Amino acid sequence: MTREIKFRGKRVDTGEWVYGFYRQCTIYKNCNKCIDHINHFIDNKYGVSEFVDESTVGQYTGLKDKNGTEIYEGDIATIARKPEEQIKKIKNLWVIQYSGWKFNAQPNRETLKPLGCTYAQVLEVIGNMHDNPELLKEIK
């Protein structure tokens, strides 16, 4: 089984999310002197390179939540196995992060759990750490 490799990041000029292939570019003069720092781009589905804020770049996990929403690194999700748990969902937030070779869901600041198909089927993405930083305060 292979997964689709793609990224998202926020455009520097508009703050809008861009999805696609991520790359870094350094501009050189005369092939040896760096004249610009590393720039970060995401090439969208039309092949247009969009300059993005490096701190917002996150990789697609290859998984979708229970509603079919793609799960990206940096997303904030909640988990509720029973309808009555929806009331408490704000206290059960998970942050999606990449740890070198696998994606993890972090239910609190100390614990990491591997993110797999089982968790993805019950997770619901409710925001991300860039657009909804206030949700991070709920994670204890």
Read off the pLDDT of residues 32-87 as tens digits, 9 standing for 90 and up.
665 566 788 899 889 889 999 999 999 998 888 889 999 898 888 887 655 444 43
Q: Provide Rg for the chain, Cα atoms.
A: 17
Residue 100 has what DSSP assignment? S
Mean pLDDT, to the nearest integer, of 88-111? 58
CA dist 38 and 26 (Å) reads 5
Total-model pTM:
0.76
CA dist 98 and 117 (Å) reads 16
Q: Are 24 and 53 in contact (CB under 8 A)?
A: no
Q: What is the pLDDT of residue 111?
A: 56
CATH of domain 59-138: 2.30.30.290
Q: Express as a percent the part of the chain with pLDDT over 90.
A: 26
- Across the chain, mean pLDDT equals 76
- The answer on pLDDT for 104 being more than 90 is no
| Of the candidates 72, 61, 64, 59, the residue with the CA atom closest to the CA atom of residue 122 | 64
Q: What is the pLDDT of residue 122?
A: 78
For residue 114, what pLDDT band results from cuts at 50, 70 and 90? low
Domain coordinates in residue numbering, the chain? 7-56, 59-138
Q: Is residue 16 packed enough to be buried (19+ CB in 10 Å), middle (13-18) or exposed (0-12)?
A: exposed
**Cα–chain-centroid distance for residue 37?**
24
